[in-house]
């Protein structure tokens, strides 16, 4: 069941011809119609059998198939009987499964290669591939959940199994909130601490023995604020009456768990509280880990507000702490992109990633002095560290932006020595590359593509020599069905020099002599870049379903675009910093210039009729387009938006707006600025959104009503954060979005592939 609230603007709008139902239906089902038209389009591989084999999924007649290849002989085989596995999964999940439509993209071998483990609809299953029976997989992580990583769910018991010392003579655990130790085989314990309380307890999941079994470290925890978000499920599937759903959900400004490391000398029964002057205001600290020599233990520290990250090393005898590396930022240190690799058993050197020179690069730190030597340098960014070989003193990594004049987001793979010498490129095709190395680094599979280049998969030796082309995507049927690749377009940003990259999707029956209204698909979250760079076989890679949705709307008489403006990631630090305490910006100054530059070159691009749509942070941006840029954007569809960052999850919002909560939160608030609304707006929200508190949408609704603003609202009972926009979209929701824009922007439906001509102008 779907609930739709349509307010006065829609009811009072000029009378328009109804959107052609057949054309809309064709667009809504375009993904299903095109999904199985490609052949041999493959995903990145997974290695198995100790590096002797690898496997991957690819498109075949009727769906998808898994292929496994022996590296030495290059002989191919199916890793399992898909028909028998489909029957086993159907029985286990009580959902019909087709052999060529198995509901997972990757798998891992288990039970000495007699079974595989897969994820189906967020549940882990282990399936025998000899006896073909499936059962729920045992969870690999039994630790107490932490909401957004910073507040423990104290309603769930901690994993308090006894932690055995390396010499197997002792066991440590927590009793009555205190650390106790007993001899293995004995029930008699002695306490190492006596000051633990429910409000300041020792966490058994942080217990760590020194390698010589003489010392123990644990975190003492002062719990954060237990904020509970409560949602009403109006139409649960298992009962008539509504149900309440509760979720531990810390928000910006809430107190987080405060962890304090404590060192214990077991034989002396002596405890040492570690001086926290170097880590006084933790947002998050990693688990304590002993160095192999047992002289020190180490942990990572992220300061609340994300302006500082440190590697803290603690003397295992005295408890004296030292900041081995300190990373300070005027704006933010991006927590999810931090990287640390301890070199060798003694960890006297550390491979570290920093943006201190304005670009994301590799450094080698001296653990004794903290001195940093830069390994990579230049106006480009390191994306991922793939392998560090301590013995060879060599690093394999991916990077983007190294090739002048080419797409700065394409990933390529390189290796380099610790001293910065012998930088070697391992990928050459002008595309974006996903490389998976064999465990012994003797070979790798390079899977590469562009939005206009179907996936190619190649097996290479470690030195880059091509061994074999494994797959080359065939899109002849897709092309015959009318598919055309999106068009990259580049324009200058607000500073007049920085290149802003985007994509253009046109109707299949595009006529350059006509005028087309414009739709912008926006996601401007600072945590990544979002314009698709890979070929788009319907969700194989990031962006697949974005582009098919863009094509579906374009076929209804629009030009649809997506742009990465300033404030998104994977460019320079200055480019990224635009978002700092400025989420209302969303790159709009760059986006609008990009639109205008395209319109200046393309007379069919009608920037007097621009709509915008987005979800989550993109939903916030879509609404803000009508609040802060109504002279340019005329209509918006906003899905599941975090419209007021004070209402959203603590992790994402404090990362970009800092702590404590200040005026920057209100500056981006769709609630506080609701009275500025101009243009036509459709809000869509899932009633059971566990990612963004759905009350965020309803608070915007409340503010718009109080401001006497007209808008449309669609609430989807029982729906989650995806609310009809992810893989397998809900046709009703998609139809409502498509028809909204056709009314709001007076689009003229195309002919041919998109349907019969139908003028929707008043």
pLDDT tens-digit map of 272-301: 999 999 999 999 999 999 999 999 999 999
pLDDT band at 538 (very low <50, low <70, confident <90, very high): low
Residue 17 pLDDT > 90: no
User: What does the alpha-carbon distance between residue 742 and residue 739 come to, in Å, rounded to a whole number?
Assistant: 5
**Lowest-pLDDT choice from 155-164, 172-181, 382-391, 717-726:** 717-726
User: What does the alpha-carbon distance between residue 291 and residue 716 come to, in Å, rounded to a whole number?
Assistant: 52
pLDDT band at 489 (very low <50, low <70, confident <90, very high): very high
What's the token pair of residue 500? 């802003």
Residue 751 pLDDT > 80: no
What's the token pair of residue 231? 């949602």
**For residue 536, what pLDDT is reported?**
75
User: What does the alpha-carbon distance between residue 621 and residue 585 come to, in Å, rounded to a whole number?
Assistant: 8
**For residue 32, what pLDDT is reported?**
84
Residue 752 pLDDT > 70: no
Residue 563 pLDDT > 80: yes
In 3D space, the residue among 27, 37, 28 whose CA is nearest the CA of residue 454 turns out to be 37
Q: What is the percent of the chain with per-residue pLDDT over 90, rounded to a whole number?
A: 89
Average pLDDT of 514-534?
A: 97
**For residue 565, what pLDDT is reported?**
98
Looking at residue 8, the DSSP 8-state letter turns out to be H
**For residue 281, what pLDDT is reported?**
96
Residue 687 pLDDT > 50: yes
Residue 757 pLDDT > 80: no
Give the 3-state secondary structure of residue 163. Answer: strand
**For residue 21, what pLDDT is reported?**
86
Average pLDDT of 195-222?
A: 98
Average pLDDT of 73-78?
A: 97
Task: Write phi, then psi, for 662 (nearest 5 degrees).
Answer: -135, -165
Average pLDDT of 237-258?
A: 97
Query: Strand ranges (DSSP E) for 616-750?
Result: 635-639, 680-686, 712-716
How many residues make up the chain in this entry?
762
Q: End-to-end CA distance of the chain, in Å?
A: 32
**For residue 567, what pLDDT is reported?**
98
Residue 223 pLDDT > 70: yes
In 3D space, the residue among 727, 633, 632 whose CA is nearest the CA of residue 680 turns out to be 633
User: What does the alpha-carbon distance between residue 449 and residue 472 come to, in Å, rounded to a whole number?
Assistant: 10
In 3D space, the residue among 39, 173, 5, 11 whose CA is nearest the CA of residue 480 turns out to be 39
Average pLDDT of every residue of the chain: 93
Average pLDDT of 580-596?
A: 98
User: Which residue is listed with tokens 């002792």?
Assistant: 170
- Asked if 163 and 209 touch (Cβ cutoff 8 Å), the reply is yes
Residue 6 pLDDT > 50: no
User: What does the alpha-carbon distance between residue 508 and residue 545 come to, in Å, rounded to a whole number?
Assistant: 17
- Asked if 545 and 31 touch (Cβ cutoff 8 Å), the reply is yes
Residue 761 pLDDT > 50: no
Give the 3-state secondary structure of residue 361. Answer: strand
Residue 380 pLDDT > 70: yes
**For residue 134, what pLDDT is reported?**
97
pLDDT band at 747 (very low <50, low <70, confident <90, very high): low
User: What does the alpha-carbon distance between residue 714 and residue 693 come to, in Å, rounded to a whole number?
Assistant: 16
Average pLDDT of 479-485?
A: 94
User: Which residue is listed with tokens 């200055």?
Assistant: 574
Complete domains list, the chain, with CATH: 3-35+481-754 (3.40.50.1820), 46-140 (no CATH), 142-338 (2.140.10.30), 361-468 (2.120.10.30)
**For residue 324, what pLDDT is reported?**
97
**For residue 423, what pLDDT is reported?**
98
* Alpha-carbon Rg for the chain in angstroms: 28
Give the 3-state secondary structure of residue 51. Answer: helix
Average pLDDT of 752-759?
A: 36
SS3 of 64-123: EEEEEEECCCCCEECCCCHHHHHHHHHHHHCCCCCHHHCCCCCCEEECCCCEEEEEECCE
Residue 1 pLDDT > 80: no
**For residue 730, what pLDDT is reported?**
67
pLDDT in tens, 23-50: 998 898 898 889 899 999 999 999 999 9
**For residue 18, what pLDDT is reported?**
57
**For residue 579, what pLDDT is reported?**
98
Residue 186 pLDDT > 70: yes
Residue 331 pLDDT > 90: yes
Residue 173 pLDDT > 70: yes
**For residue 20, what pLDDT is reported?**
81
Residue 748 pLDDT > 80: no
CA 629, chain centre distance (Å): 28
Residue 12, CA distances (Å) to 15, 455, 593 in order: 8, 49, 33
If one counts every other C-beta atom within 10 angstroms of the C-beta of residue 370, the result is 14
Angle ∠(29,33,38) on CA atoms, nearest 5? 140
pLDDT in tens, 352-373: 999 999 999 999 999 999 999 9
For helices 544-554 and 731-744, give the axis angle rounded to 10 degrees.
50
Q: What is the percent of the chain with per-residue pLDDT over 70, rounded to a whole number?
A: 93
**For residue 10, what pLDDT is reported?**
36
**For residue 4, what pLDDT is reported?**
41
**Lowest-pLDDT choice from 5-19, 165-179, 406-420:** 5-19
**Lowest-pLDDT choice from 138-147, 152-161, 581-590, 710-719:** 138-147
CA 7, chain centre distance (Å): 35
- Asked if 587 and 565 touch (Cβ cutoff 8 Å), the reply is yes
Residue 762 pLDDT > 50: no
């Amino acid at each position: 069941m779907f609930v739709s609230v349509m307010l006065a603007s829609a009811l009072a709008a000029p009378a328009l011809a109804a959107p052609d139902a057949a054309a809309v239906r064709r667009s809504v089902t375009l993904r299903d119609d095109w999904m199985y038209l490609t052949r041999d389009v493959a995903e990145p591989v997974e290695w198995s059998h100790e590096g002797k084999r690898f496997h991957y999924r690819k498109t075949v007649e009727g769906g998808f198939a898994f292929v496994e290849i022996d590296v030495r002989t290059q002989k191919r085989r199916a890793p399992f009987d898909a028909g028998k596995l489909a029957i086993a999964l159907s029985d286990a999940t009580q959902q019909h499964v087709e052999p060529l439509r198995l509901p997972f993209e990757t798998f891992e071998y288990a039970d000495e290669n007699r079974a595989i483990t897969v994820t189906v609809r967020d549940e882990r299953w282990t399936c025998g591939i000899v006896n073909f029976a499936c059962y729920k997989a045992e969870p690999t992580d039994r630790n107490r959940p932490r909401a957004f990583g910073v507040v423990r769910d104290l309603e769930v018991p901690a994993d308090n199994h006894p932690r055995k010392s390396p010499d197997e003579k002792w066991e440590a655990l927590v009793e009555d909130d205190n650390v106790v130790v007993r001899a293995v085989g004995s029930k008699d314990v002695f306490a190492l601490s006596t000051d633990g309380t429910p409000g300041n307890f020792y966490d058994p999941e942080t217990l760590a023995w020194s390698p010589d079994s003489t010392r123990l470290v644990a975190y003492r925890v002062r719990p954060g604020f237990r904020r509970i978000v409560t949602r009403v499920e109006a139409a649960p599937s298992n009962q008539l009456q509504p149900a309440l759903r509760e979720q531990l959900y810390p928000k910006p400004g809430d107190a987080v768990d405060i962890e304090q490391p404590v060192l214990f000398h077991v034989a002396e029964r002596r405890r040492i509280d570690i001086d926290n002057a170097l880590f006084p205001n933790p947002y998050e600290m990693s688990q304590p880990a002993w160095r192999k020599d047992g002289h020190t233990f180490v942990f990572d520290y992220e300061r609340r507000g994300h302006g500082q990250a440190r590697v803290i090393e603690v003397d295992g005898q005295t408890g004296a702490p030292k900041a081995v590396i300190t990373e300070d930022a005027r704006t933010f240190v991006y927590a999810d992109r931090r990287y640390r690799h301890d070199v060798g058993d003694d960890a006297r050197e550390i491979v570290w990633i920093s943006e201190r020179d304005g670009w994301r690069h590799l450094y080698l730190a001296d653990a004794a002095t903290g001195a940093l030597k830069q390994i990579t340098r230049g106006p480009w960014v390191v994306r991922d560290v793939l392998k560090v070989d301590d013995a060879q003193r060599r690093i394999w990594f991916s990077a983007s932006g190294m090739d002048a004049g080419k797409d700065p987001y394409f990933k390529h793979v390189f290796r380099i020595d610790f001293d910065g010498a012998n930088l070697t490129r391992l990928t050459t095709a002008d595309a974006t590359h996903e490389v998976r190395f064999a465990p012994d680094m003797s070979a790798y599979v390079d899977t590469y593509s562009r939005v206009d280049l179907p996936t190619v998969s190649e097996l290479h030796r470690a030195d880059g020599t091509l061994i074999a082309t494994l797959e080359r995507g065939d899109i002849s049927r897709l092309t015959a069905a009318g598919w055309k690749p999106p068009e990259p377009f580049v324009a200058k940003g607000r500073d007049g020099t920085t290149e802003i990259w985007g994509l253009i999707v046109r109707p299949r029956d595009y006529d350059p002599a006509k005028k087309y209204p414009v739709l912008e698909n926006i996601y401007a979250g600072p945590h990544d870049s979002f314009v698709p760079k890979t070929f788009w076989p319907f969700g194989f890679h990031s962006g697949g379903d974005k582009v098919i949705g863009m094509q579906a709307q374009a076929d209804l008489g629009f030009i649809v675009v997506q742009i990465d403006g300033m404030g998104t990631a994977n460019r320079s630090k200055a480019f990224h910093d635009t978002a700092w305490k400025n989420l209302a910006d969303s790159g709009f100054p760059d986006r609008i210039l990009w639109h205008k530059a395209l319109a200046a070159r393309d007379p069919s691009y009608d920037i007097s009729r621009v709509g915008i749509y987005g979800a989550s942070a993109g939903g916030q941006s879509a609404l803000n387009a009508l609040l802060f840029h109504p002279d340019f954007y005329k209509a918006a569809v906003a899905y599941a938006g975090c419209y007021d960052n004070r209402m959203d999850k603590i992790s994402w919002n404090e990362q970009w707006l800092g702590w404590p909560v200040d005026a920057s939160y209100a500056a981006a608030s769709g609630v506080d600025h609701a009275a500025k609304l101009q243009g036509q707006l459709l809000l869509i929200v899932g009633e059971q959104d566990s990612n963004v508190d759905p009350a965020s949408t309803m608070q915007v609704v409340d503010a718009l009503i109080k401001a006497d603003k007209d808008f449309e609202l669609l609430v989807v009972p029982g729906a989650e954060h995806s609310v009809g926009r992810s893989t397998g979209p809900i046709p009703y929701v998609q139809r409502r979005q498509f028809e909204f824009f056709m009314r709001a922007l007076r689009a003229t439906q195309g002919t041919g592939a998109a349907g019969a001509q139908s003028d929707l102008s008043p």
